[in-house]
Amino acid sequence: MIHNKRPVTHNTNVKVIDELPDGYQGEGFMAMQLSKVVGLARKNSIWPLPFATSCCGIEFMATMGSKYDLARFGSERLAFTPRQCDLLMVMGTISKKMAPVLKQVYIQMAEPRWVIAVGACASSGGIFDTYSVLQGIDEVIPVDVYVPGCPPRPEGIIEGVMRIQELVETESVRRRSSPEYQELLTSYGIK
Amino acid sequence: MDNTNLQERLVQKFGEQIFGFEENFGILKLYADKNINLKIMQFLYDEEDLAFRFLTDLTAVHYPNQEGAELEVTYLMYNMYRNQHIRLNFGLDINQPDIFTATKLFETSNWLERECYDFYGVNFVGHPNLIRVMNVDEMDYHPLRKEFPLEDQTRRDKDDEMFGRGGDFSYGNMNIKG
Amino acid sequence: MGKVKSKKKGNINLPEGSLEKKTITLNLGPTHPATHGVFQNILEIDGEIIKSAVPTVGYIHRAFEKIAERRPLYQITPLTDRLNYCSAPLNNLGWHMTVEKFVGIEVPKRASYMRVIIMELARIADHIVCNSIMGVDTGAFTGFLYMMKYRELIYEIYEEICGSRLTTNIGRIGGFERDFTEAAWEKINKLVTEFPDVLTEFENLFVRNRIFMDRTQGVGGISAERALNYGFTGPNLRAAGVDYDVRIAKPYSRYDEFEFDIPVGTTGDCYDRFQVRGQEMWQSLSIIKQALAKIDALEGEEATLYHADAPDFYLPLKKDVYTKMEALIYHFKIIMGEVEMPVGEIYNSIEGANGELGYYLVSDGGRSPYRLHFRRPCFIYYQAYPELIVGGMISDAIITMSSLNLIAGELDA
């Protein structure tokens, strides 16, 4: 028997109650679409891989700091290994020497995987329209969200992550095995 | 030992092999024959009253209009005690840009010479590992020479006309041959 | 008892001669959490001891020197931002000072003192990153979080002055684009009053910490002769024992009117570098306080100037361009490149956060440089990295790399 001397108060302002998708509820059960539950769980626990090459990487460090905290969105554990993470955040200029490395890292990630291109250099080459810079990472890998800026403010990076969260929430569980997705990958030369 | 004394010492030792002297913003600059680059640097290093024992910088400049000496390799040496710089320039013919390496004297010049080779094609004779350092290994031209453009010519998404650069790469600056 | 199965060989294909080899080839690749930037090292290791290392650079080569041949002088400032992006104002102001020296512009006292404040703030920001990341690499994450809060305050100061946090493009050739606002002065004063306590707390966490001292003392050391032969400058050279500082050797921006010490180490190992950078932060704080006092002591017209009187290079204020004829003409001349540039060359250097950052400018009279070369300290001292780590263990190699403060943007320009 546990004697509770302290009055127990419950926090009624819980986020998940607002966000709970609609379904049938009854006494002791709740029935809803599986994809919605999976989407809700996935979107609040995205593990990013920060592929930081240059200046945007420093803004990412500031985003992970305590003022603009990215960990509140579930991205507490930054994995540096592609085998264990969901979101590839490419931050900084990718040169032609680095492009095969980036492609290899993308291939090593397991499905489902998302890619966010942070900064002008990753989106389109940025101010470096030169012979040695890849003009945007979408020449080698498929990208989901682009965040413009040079470098983007931490609020911009957080907005990019929130858009990814929207994509993750609404993605169909059958997308990764659909023929359109396979066609997208083969157009980049990824099997 | 100010710049005039330095100039006298060098003329005394090397005489005709130094082509000329100049002074820019307090730094003495000399043009010399490329075959004696190591001899001059060793002389400046060894002599007790000269003692230039720090290599600050090593780079090259491309002058396409100077026939026979298009690539100019320049060394900047420094004496920390007297706080004095000296700049050495050597002109190389673009068809055979050979010059002796300074790696035995200064370890600094190892990667700086590789960078010169990568960007301009200067061949440093005797360098332990003269391969490209910045660009991809498969690149077959030397990009910082004046005849090559800045932009990657195979890119599809940027329209040169809209960016204000159609065709001519001289940007109104200088005459490029060809 | 069941049947004993015989082991089948041949499923794993080893390369030729690898069973006889005593060392393993390990690729400390371009993407690695502990390498702050993209550098690759191919290590030959025997157990944990490193036998040889071959570094490869160039993974972020953006061809700055070729881009600079295209751009007019005032448009090269955003390029210099991206060299050492942790302390971008230092690079910007160094470039402006090079052009001013080349053309012969004299900057008034107040603008010089304001520049000194910005440069020392940038130096503090860079050393904050370097020291706290050294802490993170040894496993101590707390220091990083506390110091980043004050780095955010420095970013706010930059924002008040020039509008941007990281790639600042601060100042103009000849001074600043606008005077510092009241909010900027308040924030600078707030930093100067609050930061010393935080820095003391940070140092208490690390400087006499047994674990940190064991990890960093005797690791990655270099003697002064070898360091000079390799071309080291900056805090790494000062940790080896040579007191060379460009602010004292060739003073720029009225540094000869300030009083500060140069901290110097003895063995050049990681602990000495950490200490040298920590002490340099104290010296920078004292310089900022002196600069604030000097600015307050100016009187009369000098107390309002923030740029030089150089109409050929300093863009006039927009409200004058729209109302006065002269300002309109100068604006047109500067933007369209009708300004007479002298023909010649100059080498100017400043004390960057990593060492002597040099600008070699060759001009042929046109509006963009004929050749611009950056003497980047990181590129020059990274050559010594194999010599520093051979014979040590892999974890020592990681600590050495983060104590050298390698910034990828400065390594491959």
Work out the angle between the directed axes of helices B3-14 and B37-46 (0-180°, nearest 10).
Answer: 130
Q: For position B69, what pLDDT does the model report?
A: 87
Please, where are the H alpha helices in B80-153?
109-120
* Least Cα separation, residue B1 to chain A (angstroms): 45
Q: Is B29 helix (H, G, I), strand (E, B) or coil?
A: strand
Q: Residue B168: which pLDDT band, with cuts at 50, 70 and 90? A: low
What local confidence, expressed as pLDDT, does residue B165 receive?
Answer: 65
pLDDT at position C10, please?
57
Nearest to B24 among C250, C345, C382 (CB): C345
The shortest CB-CB distance from C101 to any of B25, B59, B62 is to B25
Cβ atoms within 10 Å, residue C342? 10
| Spatial contact of B44 and B77, defined as CB atoms under 8 Å apart | yes
Closest chain A CA to residue B142:
A131
Q: What percent of chain C has pLDDT over 90?
A: 58
Q: Which residues contact C215 (CB under 8 A, 6 or more apart)?
A: C138, C270, C395, C399
Domain that holds residue A160: 47-169+178-187
Render pLDDT for C358-409 as a digit per residue (tens, 0 to 9). Answer: 999 999 988 889 999 999 999 999 999 999 999 899 889 989 998 999 988 8
* Chain C residues contacting B via beta carbons under 8 Å: 57-58, 61, 63, 65-67, 69-70, 101-102, 226, 228-231, 242, 244, 249-250, 337, 344-349, 356, 358, 360, 362, 364, 366-368, 370-371, 373, 375, 379-380, 382-384, 412
The yes-or-no verdict on residue B169 having pLDDT over 90 is: no
With 50 as the cut, is the pLDDT of residue C2 above it?
no
A155: enclosing H helix or E strand: helix A154-170
- What mean pLDDT is predicted for residues A65-70? 87
pLDDT given at position A15? 55
Query: Per-residue pLDDT for B100 more than 90?
Result: yes
State the nearest Cα–Cα gap between C346 and chain B, in angstroms.
Answer: 7
Report how many domains make up chain A: 1
| Edge-to-edge strands, sheet with B27-32 | B18-24, B27-32, B84-92, B71-79, B54-62
Q: What is the mean pLDDT of residues B64-76?
A: 90
Distance CA C98, CA C369 (A): 12
CB pairs under 8 A between A and B: 31
Residues 144-203 of C with CB under 8 A from A: 145, 148-149, 151-152, 155, 165-167
| Chain B positions in Cβ-Cβ contact with residue C348 (cut-off 8 Å) | 25
- The widest CA-to-CA distance across chain B, in whole angstroms, is 60
Specify if A96 maps to a domain.
yes
Please name the member of A62, A97, A127 whose beta carbon is closest to the beta carbon of C59. A97
pLDDT tens digits for range C256-281: 999 999 999 999 899 999 999 999 99
> What is the ipTM metric for this complex?
0.89
Q: Do B143 and A131 touch (CB under 8 A)?
A: yes
What residue segments make up the domains of chain B, in order of their start?
Answer: 3-97
d(CA C90, CA B153): 34
Which residues of chain C neighbour B173 with C-beta distances below 8 Å? 69, 364, 366-368, 370
CA dihedral sign of residues A141, A144, A149, A154? negative
Per-residue pLDDT reduced to its tens digit, C208-261: 999 999 999 989 889 999 999 999 999 999 999 999 999 999 999 999 999 999
Do the chains contact at C59 and A95, CB–CB below 8 Å?
Answer: yes
pLDDT mean over B82-99: 91
Query: Given a contact as 3+ CB pairs under 8 Å, which chains touch B?
Result: A, C
What distance in Å separates the CA atoms of residue C191 and residue C118, rounded to the nearest whole number? Answer: 13
* pLDDT number for residue B172: 56
Residue A32 domain flag? no
The predicted pLDDT at position C358 comes to: 93
Residue % of chain C over a pLDDT of 70: 96
Extract long-range pairs of C361-366: CB within 8 Å, 24+ residues apart: C361/C98, C361/C99, C361/C102, C362/B61, C363/C102, C364/B173, C364/B174, C365/C340, C365/C341, C366/B172, C366/B173, C366/B174, C366/C337, C366/C341
Give the pLDDT confidence score for residue B116 in this predicted structure: 93
Q: What is the model's pLDDT at position C1?
A: 45
Q: Which residue from B56, B61, B87 is facing C371, i.e. has the nearest CB?
A: B61
- pLDDT for C272 equals 93
Mean pLDDT value across residues A172-176:
86
Contact A135 B152 (CB under 8 A): yes
- Can you give the pLDDT at residue B71? 92
**At B72, which helix (H) or strand (E)?**
strand B71-79
**Please, is A29 exposed, middle or buried when counting C-beta atoms within 10 Å of its C-beta (0-12, 13-18, 19+)?**
exposed
pLDDT digits (tens, 9 = 90+) for C270-314: 999 999 999 999 999 999 999 999 999 998 888 888 888 888 899
Per-residue model confidence as pLDDT tens digits over C164-174: 999 998 988 98
**What is the reported pLDDT for B178?**
36
Among A58, A67, A127, beta carbon nearest to C86? A58
SS (H, E, C) C244-258: CCHHHHCCCCCHHHC
Which of C102, C229, C249 has its CB closest to that of B106?
C229
The span from the CA of A122 to the CA of A89, in Å, is 10
Chain C environment of A77 (Cβ under 8 Å): none
B3-97 CATH: 3.30.460.80
pLDDT reading at C315 higher than 90? no
SS3 B174: coil
**Residue C299 has what pLDDT?**
87
Interface test with chain B among C56, C229, C242, C343, by most B beta carbons within 10 Å? C229
Is residue B173 less than 8 Å (CB to CB) from chain C? yes
Half-sphere exposure of C4 (CA within 13 A, CB side): 2
* Residue type present at position B54: F
Q: Which architecture does CATH list for C64-411?
A: Orthogonal Bundle (1.10)
Of residues C193 and C413, the one with the higher pLDDT is: C193
The model's confidence at residue A80, banded by pLDDT at 50, 70 and 90, is confident
Backbone angles phi, psi at A146, to 5 degrees: -110, 135
Q: What is the pTM of this model?
A: 0.90
Residues of B in contact with A136 (CB under 8 A): 157
pLDDT band with cut points at 50, 70 and 90 for residue C159: very high
Torsion of CA B123, B125, B128, B132, to 10 degrees: 0
Give yes or no for C86 touching A (CB within 8 A). Answer: yes
Element (H, E) at A3: none
Contacts of B135 in chain A (CB under 8 A): 97, 132
Give pLDDT, residue A11: 65
Q: Given CB atoms, is C55 within the 8 Å cutoff of chain A? A: no
Q: Average pLDDT of A49-69?
A: 89
CA C344-C347-C352 angle, to 5 degrees, is: 150
Find chain C residues with C-beta within 8 A of A131's C-beta: 63, 66
* pLDDT confidence bin for B73, thresholds 50/70/90: very high
Contact residues on chain C for B55, CB-CB shorter than 8 A: 231
| Closest residue, chain A, to B149 (C-alpha) | A131
pLDDT band at C6 (very low <50, low <70, confident <90, very high): very low
**Cα–Cα dist C340/B17, whole Å:** 36
What's the mean pLDDT in C82-111?
93
Q: How many CB pairs under 8 A join B and C?
A: 94
Taking the Cβ of residue C70 and every Cβ of chain A, the question of whether any pair is shorter than 8 Å is answered with no
Average pLDDT, chain A: 86
C-contacting chains (≥3 CB pairs under 8 Å): A, B
- For residue B113, what is the nearest residue in chain C, using CA coordinates? C380
Do residue B56 and residue C356 have CB atoms under 8 angstroms apart? yes
Count A/C contacts: CB-CB distance under 8 Å.
86
